[in-house]
Amino acid sequence: MPIMIRDILLLQKRELETRLKEKYVERAGDSKKLASGLINVIIGPRRAGKSFFAIHALSKLGAFSYVNFDDEKLVETKDYNEIIDAINSVYSNPKYLLLDEIQNLDKWELFANRLQRQGYALVITGSNSNLLSKELATHLTGRYSLITIFPFSFKEYLAVEEKELTESEIREKLFDYLTYGGYPEPLLKKSEYKDYLSTLFSSIIYKDIVKRFRIRYVQAIEDLAVYLISNTAQEFSYNTLSKVTKSRNVHTIQKYLGYLEESFIFFKISRFSFKVREQISSNKKIYCIDNGFIHAKAFKISPDIGKLYENIVAIELKKLEMSGIADVYYWKSQQQEEVDFVIKQGIKIRQLIQVCHDIGDIKTKNREVRALLKAANELGCRNLLVLTENYEGEEEISWFGLKEKIGFMPLWKWLLLPPSF
């Protein structure tokens, strides 16, 4: 076994021991124990806390080994037996094995399958959504358990305080969360958000996309990323995006956006329609995985609070979608009236959600409510909710013969409650 590989793992082991001493905030996934007998797969954005979650979960089970493939020398290793020999040497033939950022390793799935056959209990993490569903089913011959870790939810963000907060303190924290997002490291280490997130954003673009997919026209994907983050929570078409990036090839733009989604920077939702063809051909809406990226990278003079509200809600609903709990869409009428989120389970529309920061403006309220009533009538849904800054209550509202009860709830309270349809 080359000394170099063993030395790399020894240094990573020291880093692991240091990290176990750092402050840890319990994550939502902690309630779901790592499944025994399965390959446990943890996915999510870079630096969202996947490895930290895995480290603390495994530490409760006993001794385990750790290999981080965010190391070029390890990734360049051709003989994977050398890695296995180094693991057994450094960790004395461990049962549990954590393989961090495994997507960097060529033919990672063959390596994981071999390790499982050799009796290791595997936990693998990845910052690429290609480790999802059908890819996992195709590549991993054993059964697996999937856990998704995003940046801190608002509830996790508040847990950092380690004390019970008053309502006014919670609302104040919401403004910080809306602005700076939920990435754990700058919050826990009190570092500068903008510099940290700007560097992380660029690292994901270059390391996970440009380098991995050998993109030659780097400026195009940079322009696309900055445009999307500056237009979060807005509709887009591929034709429009091709003009923004000065790329005439719409298929290239679709491919680039796919890379950005795979790397967990952005995600899109489709416009709801009962006709599948219409749903596929309609414009999508784009959202960012963390509001902090918007603060760090968006080309805007002042933030749009309403869009920040909407993006936070989209992130929470995306978690439900990735967990298989519900499908999420937006709705738009022929008159361009819009409902921000349509929650669908199976064939049933469970809830319609409108996000309205400035509910005190009567024109704004009437516009948002009118769209909700029209969507309720068209989609046959009576569970209507408007998320607001402070207003809470229930109103029975009539509009041109349509009458429904509509619930109003402050965003901070909705973020702290479990999903309810």
Q: What is the predicted pLDDT for the residue at 368?
A: 93
Give the domain ranges of the chain: 3-148, 192-303, 327-416
Q: Which helix (H) or strand (E) holds 195?
A: helix 193-203
**Cβ count within 10 A of residue 60:** 9
Q: What is the predicted pLDDT for the residue at 31?
A: 53
**Cβ count within 10 A of residue 87:** 22
Please say if the pLDDT value at position 30 is more than 60. no
Q: Which residue has the tokens 């050998």?
A: 214
Q: Which helix (H) or strand (E) holds 235?
A: strand 234-236
Q: What is the predicted pLDDT for the residue at 298?
A: 86
Please say if the pLDDT value at position 262 is more than 80. yes
Mean pLDDT of 299-306: 77
Please say if the pLDDT value at position 1 is more than 90. no
Mean pLDDT of 407-416: 97
Please say if the pLDDT value at position 127 is more than 90. no
Query: Three-class SS string for 87-136?
Result: HHHHHCCCCEEEEECHHHCCCHHHHHHHHHHCCCEEEEEECCHHHCHHHH
Instruction: Report the amino acid identity of residue 387.
Output: L
Q: What is the predicted pLDDT for the residue at 78?
A: 87
CA distance 320 to 314: 10
Half-sphere exposure of 283 (CA within 13 A, CB side): 15
Q: Which helix (H) or strand (E) holds 194?
A: helix 193-203
CA distance 209 to 256: 9
Confidence of residue 287 (pLDDT cuts 50, 70, 90): very high
- Domains 3-148 and 192-303 equal at CATH topology level: no
Half-sphere exposure of 204 (CA within 13 A, CB side): 24
pLDDT tens digits, 31-79: 566 877 788 999 999 999 999 999 999 988 888 999 999 998 898 888 9
Tell me which residue of 10, 45, 79, 13 sits closest to 289, measured CA to CA.
45
Instruction: Give the CATH number of domain 192-303; options: 1.10.3470, 1.10.357, 1.10.10, 1.25.40.
Output: 1.10.10
Span of 63-72, 369-378, 395-404 with lowest mean pLDDT: 395-404
Where does residue 162 fall: left (phi above 0), alpha (psi -120 to 50 degrees), or beta otherwise?
left
Confidence of residue 2 (pLDDT cuts 50, 70, 90): low
**Structural contact between residues 317 and 341, judged by C-beta atoms closer than 8 angstroms:** yes
238-272 in b/e form (b: 16+ CB < 10 A) is eeebbebbebeeeebbeebbebbebbbbbbbbbbb
CA distance 102 to 216: 25
**Cβ count within 10 A of residue 214:** 6
Confidence of residue 235 (pLDDT cuts 50, 70, 90): very high
Token pair of 176 as six digits: 């910080």
Confidence of residue 256 (pLDDT cuts 50, 70, 90): very high
**Structural contact between residues 229 and 204, judged by C-beta atoms closer than 8 angstroms:** no
Instruction: List beta partners, residue 236.
Output: 284
Q: What is the predicted pLDDT for the residue at 224?
A: 94
CA distance 310 to 257: 21
- Residues ≥6 apart with Cβ < 8 Å to 146: 41, 43, 132, 133, 136
**Structural contact between residues 397 and 406, judged by C-beta atoms closer than 8 angstroms:** yes
pLDDT tens digits, 85-118: 999 999 998 889 999 998 888 888 889 889 988 8
Strand order in the sheet with 64-68: 64-68, 96-100, 121-126, 39-43, 144-148
**Is pTM, for the whole model, over 0.75?**
yes
Which fold is adopted by the domain 3-148? Rossmann fold (3.40.50)
Confidence of residue 349 (pLDDT cuts 50, 70, 90): very high
